[in-house]
Structure 1
Amino acid sequence: MLDTKGKILSAACDIYLEHGSKGMSMRKVASKAGITPTAIYRHYDSKEALHHQVLMDGFRKFGSYLYPTIAGASPLEQLNQAADAFFRFATEQTRYYELLFLTMDSTNEIKVDKVLQREALATYQFIINSVKACMSAGILKDDNPEEVAMLLLSACNGFFGLYVSKKFEGTQQEMKAKYDRIYQRILRGLAA
């Protein structure tokens, strides 16, 4: 059972995804959360503060999936675990996945908000560092680590973009098998 703050964030995330940041109002959030509009102001000073918190929670949740992969035994294992973490995040936290990776509203907010920008860049830098480690270990061809990280993220994100937009269907197990095969094909092309 969610507490009031959790209900507010959940409702805000749903409305944000359905109507974008411009279509989100404190009244809509309150109605969806089953509370009064004034109750929101006990937790958030403004609509902008609520937007900010929804995005921060999304990045922190993504990080909670991604950062434990650093415990992998080798750079390649870490990179593989990061790809697996991306899959789990996209399938287990679909609302946050859509919010962070598929909506333009969040992209625009991240560009202007320095705190959000730092959170977004931290997860991206984590992938770049994993790619660099694989290149240094001779696992991947020596190349531009940022561009290779971008390629890997683009492939993972593109896969889920197609899935979310119903371009292909299947069970989660079938989807995971396709995802793994696509990811492995890309890695084989990048292998040293």
Structure 2
Amino acid sequence: MSSTSERIAAAAKDLVTAGGSASVSMRKIGDALGLSPMAVYRHFPNREALLARVADDLFDDAYDRLSRKAIPADTVAALHGAVDDLVDLALDHPRQFAFMFIEPRDGARTFPADFSGGRSRLFGLLTGIVDAGIANGTLAPTDSWKVGLTLTANVYGLVALHQGGRIALSDEDFRELCHDSLERLLNGILA
């Protein structure tokens, strides 16, 4: 049996996934679990603390799932796989994706200190691919954290535009656009 704190966090995670962070309130959590809002506050001092726990849990879940995947030895294929992983999350759970990567949030990890300091294990999976690509000569020697930021910012921007209705493509065509954009980044646009 899970603890009350774990049950509260799980209920909040469900609300974030279904309706975004705006749908999370102590009252809704209490109602879902048969608790008073004050009982919820005994476990989490405020909504922000609860959302911080939810964010940590979502990032841990994503890391646990993605760290078990086999990463292709081919750097370009591995980067395309990382794009697919992000696009899968964005298309399958758009509100969760926005909460994790786009919405402002107290305590969110920030570039560069939190990332290069190892506080983002999920981002570390991507920089591991970049580091391997640098080591095997596929990618030019450079700062892997900045390369990772460029690659993810590109996908996050496309997702934000897609979620905002500014990119009117089917899911399949949107995925293709994300891969095309990765290729443009890898190959450059200068003549």
TM-score band, normalised by the shorter chain? 0.7 to 0.9
State the partner residue of 1:74: 74
1:58-116 alpha-carbon deviations (Å, 9 max, x no partner): 212332453244532333332221121111111112222111111112xx32359xxx9
Match of 1:125, as an amino acid?
G
- Whether the aligned pair in 2 keeps the contact of 1:8 and 1:40 (CA below 8 Å) is no
Structure 2 CA distance for partners of 1:154 and 1:65, relative to 1, 3 Å: farther
Identity of aligned residues (%): 17
CA distance in 2, matches of 1:92, 1:43: 33
Asked if 1:9 corresponds to 2:13, the answer is: yes
Q: 1:68 to 1:40 in 2, by over 3 A?
A: farther
Does structure 1 retain, via aligned residues, the 8 Å contact 2:29–2:40?
Answer: no
Tell me: CA distance 1:158–1:90, structure 2 relative to 1, closer, same or farther (3 Å): same
The correspondence for 2:108, drawn from 107, 110, 114, is: 110
Q: Quick one: higher RCO (CA 8 Å, sep 6+), 1 or 2?
A: 2
Residues 16 and 99 in structure 2, CA contact (< 8 A), matched pair in contact too: no
Q: Which runs of 5+ in 2 are unaligned?
A: 1-6
Q: Which residue of 1 aligns with 2:87?
A: 87
Q: What letter is aligned with 2:145?
A: E
Q: Higher mean Cα deviation, 84-93 or 120-129? A: 120-129
More helix by share: 1
1:39-54 equivalences in 2 (<5 Å): 41=40, 44-47=43-46, 49-54=49-54
Please give the root-mean-square deviation of Cα atoms over the aligned residues, in Å: 3.3
Counterpart-to-counterpart distance in 2, 1:12 and 1:172: 22
- Tell me which moved more, 168-177 or 62-71: 62-71
Report the TM-score, using the length of structure 2 for normalisation.
0.75
Question: Do 1:66 and 1:82's aligned partners in 2 also have CA atoms closer than 8 Å?
Answer: no
Residue deviations 1:22-65 (CA, integer Å, cap 9, x gap): xx54124334x374325964994443552232112221233245
Evaluate the alpha carbon distance shift between residue 15 and residue 120 of structure 1 in structure 2; reply closer, same or farther with a 3 A threshold. farther
Indicate the larger mover: 168-177 or 40-49: 40-49
- Aligned partner of 2:35 in structure 1 is 36
The 1:110/1:88 distance shift into structure 2, 3 A limit, reads: same
Distance 1:182 1:8, change over 3 A: closer
Are 1:30 and 1:36, in contact at CA under 8 Å, matched by a contact in 2?
yes
Q: Matches of 2:123 and 2:27 in 1, distance apart? A: 35
Residues 40 and 155 of structure 1, relative CA distance in 2, 3 Å threshold: farther
CA distance in 1, matches of 2:91, 2:119: 19
Matches of 2:42 and 2:75, distance apart in 1: 42
> Structure 1 residues 119, 138: closer, same or farther in 2, change over 3 A?
closer
Q: Check the 8 A contact 1:13/1:54 in 2, yes or no.
A: no
CA contact (8 A) 1:128 1:149 kept: yes
